[in-house]
Amino acid sequence: MTWRLVNSKSEGLIFNIQRFAIHDGPGLGTTVFMKGCPLRCRWCSNPESWETYPEIMVHNIKCIAGCRKCLETCPSDAISFTTQGSGIEVDREKCDLCMKCVEVCPSRAIERVGNWMTVEEVLGQVLADKIFYQNSGGGLTISGGEPLLQGEFVTELCKQGKEEGIHITLDTSGYGSWIVMEKVLRYVDLVLFDIKHMDSMKHKEGTEVGNELILSNLKKTASLCRIWIRIPLIPKFNDSDWEIEEVTKFVSELNVEKVSILPYHEWGVSKYAKLGRVYQLAGTSLPIEEHLADIVKRIECSGLKVAVGS
Q: What are phi and psi of 37, to 5 degrees?
A: -150, 135
11-52+114-308 has which CATH code? 3.20.20.70
Residue 269, pLDDT above cutoff 60: yes
Cβ contacts of 47 within 8 Å, gap of 6 or more:
268, 271, 272, 275, 277
Q: Give residue limits of the domains in the chain.
A: 11-52+114-308, 55-113
Banded model confidence at residue 81, pLDDT cuts 50, 70, 90: confident
**Residues 22, 24, 25, 29, CA torsion sign:** negative
Angle of helix 178-185 relative to helix 151-163, nearest 10 degrees, comes to 10
115-118: strand order across its sheet: 115-118, 11-21, 29-34, 139-143, 167-172, 190-194, 226-233, 258-263, 306-308
Residue 4, pLDDT above cutoff 90: no
> What digits encode the pLDDT tens for the residues 202-221?
999 999 999 999 999 999 99
Mean pLDDT of 26-50: 96
- What value does the mean pLDDT of the chain take? 93
pLDDT of res. 44: 97
pLDDT of res. 67: 87
Residue 232, pLDDT above cutoff 70: yes
Mean pLDDT of 106-123: 96
pLDDT of res. 86: 62
Residue 5, pLDDT above cutoff 60: no
State the fold for domain 55-113.
Alpha-Beta Plaits (3.30.70)
